């Protein structure tokens, strides 16, 4: 196991900045093209119910402009399923969504919502779209993801990354162990394992070193860091740290 870890760059927050003024700048599609040139293996975006950052037209323009795999994060909602089936991205990652949350605060509780999630997994798979489930690091969630027939899970790394940012080494260590165990459990079930949420230069190393992981999805930190060093520079440095952790 191990090998090269793919980097999916999430461009949502380029659109957050654009939307602050309601115009066309900065364009998330331009950011995606820069990300591609800087070493991204895929582009991720989350069309939310309230369209607070990217919208359908961004997704369509991205599809037309991009030869990298597109990973659409979406809630289990009819409206989003229609968009996914129309646009047919390479992959869809099913995420929980509450309008009032600032970001995706926890994983999708597939254990509790099995019956709600199941038709979305089935219809996306039937359309030839690779489905992943964004879940908290938990063997129970893994088991349900497997039973649902999702080929991929994405482990929510927010608790670990939050502990790192807070300087709480003991909590970070415990959260990292939970993620490591969940990744090993998922891979043992034959699931492809991805991870993401809250990853920064400070937290990426120990995550990238988890040998079962195949892909990280990173957004907010890269867009924030781009203010200081440019988007290409931020992505290249993230890529370098991921590769160093795997070396
Ligand atoms: N993966 C998933 C499923 C997400 O919902 C998000 C946030 O949209 C990310 C990864 C990226 O998180 P961040 O923007 O904190 O890097």
Mapping DSSP to helix (H, G, I), strand (E, B) and coil, where does residue 197 land?
A: coil
Q: Pick from 6, 49, 145, 219 the residue to mutate for probing ligand 1's pocket: most ligand atoms within 8 Å of its CB.
A: 219
Please indicate, yes or no, if residue 171 is contained in any of the structural domains: yes
In this structure, are residues 118 and 145 in contact, taking their beta carbons and an 8 Å threshold?
no
Q: Which atom of ligand 1 is nearest to the CA of 197?
A: 12
pLDDT for the residue numbered 41 = 98
Instruction: State residue 29's pLDDT score.
Output: 98
134 lies in some domain: yes
Atom nearest to 223 CA in ligand 1: 14
**Cα(132)–Cα(170) distance, integer angstroms:** 30
58-115 confidence digits (pLDDT tens): 999 999 999 999 999 999 999 999 999 999 999 999 999 775 666 667 899 999 999 9
Distance 23 CA to ligand 1 centre (A): 24
Cα 196 to middle of ligand 1, angstroms: 6
Phi–psi pair at 177, nearest 5 degrees: -60, -40
* Amino acid 97: pLDDT: 78
Average pLDDT, the chain: 95
1 assigned to some structural domain: no
Confirm whether 76 is domain-assigned.
Answer: yes
pLDDT tens-digit profile of 206-233? 999 999 999 999 999 999 999 999 999 9
> What's the domain range around 115?
6-246
Counted domains in the chain = 1
Q: Nearest C-alpha to atom 3 of ligand 1 is from which residue?
A: 134
Six token digits for residue 224:
């924030």
Ligand 1 atom having least distance to the Cα of 194: 1
Instruction: Indicate the pLDDT class of residue 201, thresholds 50, 70 and 90.
Output: very high
Mean pLDDT of 28-33: 98
The predicted structure's pLDDT at residue 4: 85
**Do 212 and 193 meet the contact criterion of CB atoms below 8 Å apart?**
yes
Which pair of structure tokens corresponds to residue 87?
């646009």
Kindly list the protein residues whose Cβ atom lies closer than 6 A to any atom of ligand 1.
10, 12, 46, 73, 93, 95, 103-104, 134, 154, 196-199, 217-221
CB 68 within 8 A of CB 34: no
Q: Higher confidence at residue 97 or residue 120?
A: 120
The Å distance, Cα 153 to ligand 1 centre, comes to: 13
Give the C-alpha separation, 62 to 174, whole Å. 39
**CA 181 to CA 175: how far, in whole Å?**
10
Can you give the pLDDT at residue 2?
56
Instruction: Check residue 90 and give its pLDDT.
Output: 98
In this structure, is residue 84 part of a structural domain? Answer: yes
Residue nearest to atom 11 of ligand 1 (CA): 197
101 within a domain of the structure (yes/no): yes
pLDDT-based confidence at residue 52 (cuts at 50, 70, 90): confident
Out of 50-54, 74-78, 100-104, 120-124, which region has the weakest mean confidence (pLDDT)?
100-104
Percent pLDDT > 90 in the chain is 91
CA distances from 34 to 205, 207, 214, 223 (A): 23, 24, 22, 12
**Is 156 an active-site residue?**
no
Percentage of residues in the chain having pLDDT higher than 70: 96
CB-count burial class (<10 Å; 0-12, 13-18, 19+) for 171: middle
CATH, residue 74? 3.20.20.70
Instruction: Identify whether 94 is part of a domain.
Output: yes
Other Cβ atoms within 10 Å of 143 Cβ, number: 15
| Residue 234: per-residue pLDDT | 98
Calculate the alpha carbon distances from 117 to 65, 114, 145, 166, 228 in Å: 31, 5, 10, 33, 40
pTM of the predicted model as reported, rounded to 2 decimal places: 0.96
């Amino acid at each position: 196991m191990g090998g090269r870890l793919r980097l999916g760059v999430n461009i949502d927050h380029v659109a957050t900045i654009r939307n602050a003024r309601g115009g066309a700048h900065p364009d998330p599609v331009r950011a995606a093209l820069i990300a591609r040139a800087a070493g991204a293996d895929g582009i991720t975006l989350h069309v939310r119910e309230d369209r607070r950052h990217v919208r359908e037209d961004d997704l369509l323009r991205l599809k037309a402009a991009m030869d990298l795999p597109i990973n659409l994060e979406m809630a289990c909602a009819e409206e989003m399923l229609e968009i996914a089936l129309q646009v047919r991205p390479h992959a869809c990652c099913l995420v929980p969504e509450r309008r009032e949350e600032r970001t995706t605060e926890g994983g999708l509780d597939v254990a509790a919502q099995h019956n709600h999630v199941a038709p979305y997994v089935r219809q996306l798979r039937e359309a030839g779209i690779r489905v992943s489930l964004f879940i908290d690091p938990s063997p129970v969630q893994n088991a349900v993801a497997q039973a649902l027939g999702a080929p991929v899970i994405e482990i929510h790394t927010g608790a670990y990354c939050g502990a790192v940012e807070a300087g709480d080494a003991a909590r970070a260590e415990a959260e990292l162990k939970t993620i490591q165990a969940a990744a090993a459990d998922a891979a043992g079930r034959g699931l492809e394992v991805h991870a993401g949420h809250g990853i920064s230069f400070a937290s990426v190393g120990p995550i990238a070193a988890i040998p079962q992981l195949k892909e990280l999805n990173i957004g907010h930190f890269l867009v924030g860091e781009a203010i200081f060093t440019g988007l290409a520079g931020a992505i290249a440095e993230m890529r370098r740290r991921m590769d160093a952790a795997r070396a």
